[in-house]
Amino acid sequence: MTSKAHAEKGKVVARDVARGSGGPRPHPALGLHNAIGNRGINRLMGARTRRDPDYRRGYLGIATCSEQGVVNTYVPGEHCAGDCVQQHENVHVADMSLCCARYSSCLNSAPDVGGRQQCRESWLDYMNHLEDYTECNAYQTEFDCLTSLLIRECTLPGASGAVSPDCCKKLDQEHANVTTMITRHCPKAVPWPCPFP
């Protein structure tokens, strides 16, 4: 089913419930979809193609806006050293927080289910437009973190030895993957205005 068909189905369910028909209730997973969108769901479900640079490394962290207006991060897989993935996710928090709070205000002030659905649709559209911008910012931060870590722990004479040669090799591979992601997102990066006042 296409994302448009899902959206239409969600509208029908929301309309039925709003009328008090006792009709079908939305599945709890729709709340997650509303929070992170199709791309986020695909990432959680591991839906990647071999052409996707993230396919090789998997998704190491996620930042999502809750309907309470808070951007939450989840980092199930940090690199073998450092906190570069958490730093990446923290950039998303900074990029999304103001509009996320406004999104919550929109939901709380909407007069009915249809109004809340419009808020959700506006949020998803905003995130689709903001993705390249926030990913560019986040991958640049992760790049800087990995570069510093590689120089400090893997290449300088007298490095601390806290990072194993195997880990240094993995960090170098991650550095290359992050570089690929920068070239993918940054040329299309445009700051997008928040649709909520």
Q: Which domain holds residue 45?
A: 3-188
Residue 151, CA distances (Å) to 1, 2, 133, 167 in order: 47, 46, 27, 13
pTM, entire model:
0.71
Q: Helix (H, G, I), strand (E, B), or coil: what is residue 50?
A: coil
**Is 97 contained in some domain?**
yes
**Is 76 contained in some domain?**
yes
**Is 60 contained in some domain?**
yes
12-32 mean pLDDT: 42
pLDDT value at residue 142: 97
**Is 196 contained in some domain?**
no
Q: Which residue has the higher pLDDT, 41 or 125?
A: 125
% of the chain residues with pLDDT over 70? 68
Structural contact between residues 124 and 37, judged by C-beta atoms closer than 8 angstroms: yes
**Is 122 contained in some domain?**
yes
Structural contact between residues 7 and 121, judged by C-beta atoms closer than 8 angstroms: yes
Structural contact between residues 96 and 70, judged by C-beta atoms closer than 8 angstroms: no
Domains held by the chain: number: 1
**Is 194 contained in some domain?**
no
Q: How confident is the model at residue 32 (pLDDT cuts 50, 70, 90)?
A: low
The backbone torsions φ and ψ at residue 78, rounded to the nearest 5 degrees and listed phi first, read -85, 160
**Is 195 contained in some domain?**
no
Q: Strands (DSSP E) along the chain, which ranges?
A: 62-65, 71-74
pLDDT of 17 > 60? The answer is: no
